[in-house]
Structure formats: structure tokens, C-alpha cells
């Protein structure tokens, strides 16, 4: 569906060229919700502009649905862009036009018949939950309603790909979740490929199928969301995963709980059916040791649940080795975070 092959983008600003995107290879399958996450300056916004042809790569190729966007020009590029729509962080609505007129605008530009425009706009207003607000102006809408207009406008020409550039970062957490639920519904209903650019791991966790982590223009880690959350490989990825705990502050583990404890503190990470195992009870029965639960949490991703549990136990080295082996044999990731 979307193929990026050895894509690089270098901006020539004076004597020092800026490498915004550095030798990126990505494959995004049709119907996926794909997250690209990174902090400011990581290159993710430049990457999304390469996807819709607003920027031309310095080297490499971008192919969408068999069309090479990176080399398309003129009418060919214009036709390709009709199938690649965008949702923006700050909405980019026409303030002098109503909700209905904003949604209709892209269809008018494309030359669609008036009757078709009226029918499509009515359909989209209902889809995004704006029934009754058709004649309102952007200044009369909340942030979430403005973004719903932006999404409806992006869907007007029935695109194959929806690009979302920080589409929820200007919204409060509750409204963010509502917009993410809407995007997930659109994806499932129409099998629409969605590429999300974000710096919020909560966004990735909630709706994405796969994620690429960018740093200094490079993709440093990529994979299925559940795998990346449970087994992050790079320091920046682990930092993003910790960010999800901070999204709900009460879920964060307090390391001070271990300060005065003798023995070992073990962190368990488990996914899928493993989340329903009576792990603590089984360990207690098998080893005859008291296991103290320090902290636990469960998180939902688009493809299943994963959980983390911090246990304290006083055990000798042999017992501890056997405990860790039993957990790993049962498909549970574990690590000793303190051993006195």
C-alpha cells in the first residue's frame, strides 16, 4: 500500500545542510493504522509531507497504491493527492464558511456535481457526529468539533490514505480519546489506511496496529504496537512507553517503594491470555515463599491487553533463578530491578 524505500530529505540552509529524514524504509499495509512517533525535530512532520508530495525526497522513493508520489508532477501529482487526505493539528478550517461549507470545499475544488456534494456532506456530518451543527461557523465550535469537521473534510473525496499530523495534540485528554475512537471507527468501517504522526504514546497505544519510532531523522525502532510496548529496545522507545503511565499519573510505579526492602523486586510484563493467569498464587504454592505485590497496572492496545506487575520476595539466588525461569517458560517477560 505505502512503500518508503531509502528515503532521505536534506534541507540546504546555508553552509550546514540539515538532514531531516535519513535513509528511512517503511512498509504500511492497506487498512492499517500506523503510528509514527518522535519528539520535535525527529523528522516525522517532514516524513508525512513526503507522503503527500508536499516535499520531494533528496533520494529514495515513496509509492502509494502503485503510484510513485516522489516522482509525480503536474496533473499526475494532483490526481494522486485527491486520494491522500490530511488532518491537521490546528484544524486549518475556513473561518468564513460554515461546517457544511468547509466539508464541501474539497469536493468543489475537485469539480464534483452539486447533488453529489450535498449527499456526501450530509453523510459525513452524521458520520462524525455533527448533526445539528451544519450551519455553525468554526468560531462557534469546540476544539473537538473543529477536528471532527477537519476529519469529515478529509474524507469528502473518499481517500485511500488519511494522514493525521498531530491531530489530537491541541485537544484535552477526554476529547483526544473521542477523536481517536472516531478514527478507529472510520478505519474499521471503511478499511481506510491511516498514518498518525504524534509525540504522544497514548495515541499509539489506543488505536495503532504498528508504530515506527523516529529520532534524528532515522527510524530507530519499528514493529507491532503490543511488541513495542512490552519489549521496547531503544532508550527513546522506553521513554515513550513510560509516558503512557504518566498519562494517568496514578498508574505510575514509585521506585521509592523499594528503597528499604530486603530481597528482590521483580518486574513482570505479560500479554494476552497471560494477563488472566494466577501468577502470584502459583508462585506462592510452588516455592512456599510470600510474594508481596508492590504495584500493578493493565493497559489496552488496539490488539490486546498487556499488564505489568512488581513483586517483592525474599529468596536465595537459586530460588530467584528458578522463579525467573518458570515465569519465562510461561511466556511472561521478567526482570530483576532490585536484588539485595
Cβ–Cβ < 8 Å for 231, 45: no
Q: Which of 301, 337, 275 is nearest to 223 (CA)?
A: 301
Tell whether the model's pLDDT for residue 250 goes beyond 50: no
Q: What is the pLDDT of residue 249?
A: 43
pTM of the prediction? 0.78
Q: Are 302 and 207 in contact (CB under 8 A)?
A: yes
Quick: pLDDT tens for 229-241: 878 889 999 888 8
Across 200-204, 248-252, 255-259, 328-332, the highest mean pLDDT is recorded for 200-204
List the helix and strand counts (H, then E) for the chain.
11, 14
Q: What is the per-residue pLDDT across 69-121, written as a single tens digit (0 to 9) for each?
A: 888 888 888 887 888 999 998 889 999 999 999 999 989 988 899 999 999 99
Question: Which H helix or E strand runs over 311?
Answer: strand 304-313
Q: Which of 99, 9, 6, 104 is nearest to 48 (CA)?
A: 9
Q: Which residue has the higher pLDDT, 65 or 219?
A: 219
Please give the pLDDT value at position 158. Answer: 92
pLDDT of residue 226: 85
DSSP character for 248?
A: S
What is the structure's pLDDT at 278?
82
In percent, the amount of the chain with pLDDT more than 90 equals 51
Alpha carbon 161 to its chain's center:
15
In 29-113, which ranges are E strands? Answer: 33-37, 59-64, 67-68, 84-87
pLDDT of residue 252: 57
CATH 3.30.70.260 is the classification of domain 253-339: yes
pLDDT for the residue numbered 332: 85
For residue range 302-324, what is the model confidence (pLDDT) as tens digits? 767 777 888 888 988 888 999 99
Q: Would you state the CATH architecture of domain 2-83+159-245? A: 3-Layer(aba) Sandwich (3.40)
59-64 and 67-68 strand pairing: antiparallel
pLDDT at position 298: 73
Cβ proximity of 264 and 61 under 8 Å: no
| pLDDT over threshold 70, residue 248 | no
Q: Which SS3 state, helix, strand or coil, does residue 110 take?
A: helix
Q: Which three cell numbers stand for residue 278?
A: 494466577
Residue ranges per structural domain of the chain: 2-83+159-245, 253-339
Q: State the Cα–Cα distance between residues 211 and 234, nearest whole angstrom.
A: 13
pLDDT in tens, 173-218: 899 999 999 999 999 999 999 999 999 888 998 899 999 999 999 9
261-274 tens-digit pLDDT: 888 889 888 776 66
Chain mean pLDDT for the chain: 88
What is the predicted pLDDT for the residue at 135? 96
Amino acid at each position: 500500500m505505502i512503500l518508503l524505500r531509502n528515503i532521505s530529505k536534506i534541507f540546504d540552509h546555508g553552509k550546514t545542510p540539515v538532514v531531516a529524514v535519513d535513509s528511512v524504509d517503511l512498509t504500511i499495509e492497506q487498512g492499517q493504522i500506523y503510528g509514527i512517533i518522535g519528539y520535535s525535530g525527529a523528522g516525522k512532520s517532514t516524513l508525512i509531507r513526503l507522503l503527500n508530495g508536499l516535499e520531494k525526497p533528496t533520494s529514495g522513493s515513496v509509492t502509494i497504491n502503485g503510484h510513485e508520489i516522489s516522482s509525480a508532477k503536474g496533473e499526475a501529482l494532483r490526481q494522486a493527492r485527491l486520494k491522500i487526505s490530511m488532518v491537521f493539528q490546528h484544524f486549518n478550517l475556513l473561518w468564513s464558511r460554515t461546517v457544511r461549507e468547509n466539508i464541501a470545499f474539497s469536493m468543489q475544488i475537485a469539480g464534483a456535481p452539486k447533488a453529489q456534494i450535498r449527499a456526501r456532506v450530509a453523510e459525513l456530518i452524521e458520520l462524525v457526529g455533527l448533526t445539528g451543527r451544519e450551519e455553525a461557523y468554526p468560531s462557534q465550535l469546540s476544539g473537538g468539533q473543529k477536528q471532527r469537521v477537519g476529519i469529515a473534510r478529509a474524507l469528502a473525496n473518499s481517500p485511500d490514505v488519511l494522514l493525521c499530523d498531530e491531530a489530537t495534540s491541541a485537544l484535552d485528554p477526554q476529547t483526544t480519546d473521542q477523536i481517536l475512537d472516531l478514527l478507529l471507527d472510520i478505519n474499521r468501517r471503511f478499511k481506510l489506511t491511516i498514518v498518525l504522526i504524534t509525540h504522544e504514546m497514548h495515541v499509539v497505544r489506543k488505536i495503532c496496529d504498528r508504530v515506527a519510532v523516529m529520532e534524528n531523522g532515522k527510524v530507530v525502532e519499528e514493529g507491532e504496537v503490543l511488541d513495542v510496548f512490552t519489549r521496547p529496545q531503544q532508550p527513546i522507545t522506553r521513554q515513550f512507553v513510560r509516558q503512557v503511565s504518566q498519562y494517568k499519573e496514578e498508574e505510575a510505579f514509585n521506585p521509592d517503594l523499594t528503597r528499604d526492602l530486603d530481597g528482590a523486586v521483580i518486574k513482570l510484563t505479560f500479554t494476552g491470555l497471560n494477563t488472566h493467569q494466577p501468577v502470584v498464587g502459583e508462585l506462592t504454592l510452588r516455592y512456599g515463599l510470600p510474594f508481596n505485590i508492590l504495584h500493578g497496572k493493565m493497559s489496552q492496545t488496539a490488539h490486546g491487553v498487556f499488564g505489568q506487575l512488581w513483586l517483592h520476595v525474599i529468596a536465595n539466588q537459586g530460588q530467584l533463578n528458578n522463579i525467573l525461569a518458570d515465569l519465562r517458560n510461561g511466556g511472561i517477560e521478567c526482570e530483576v530491578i532490585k536484588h539485595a
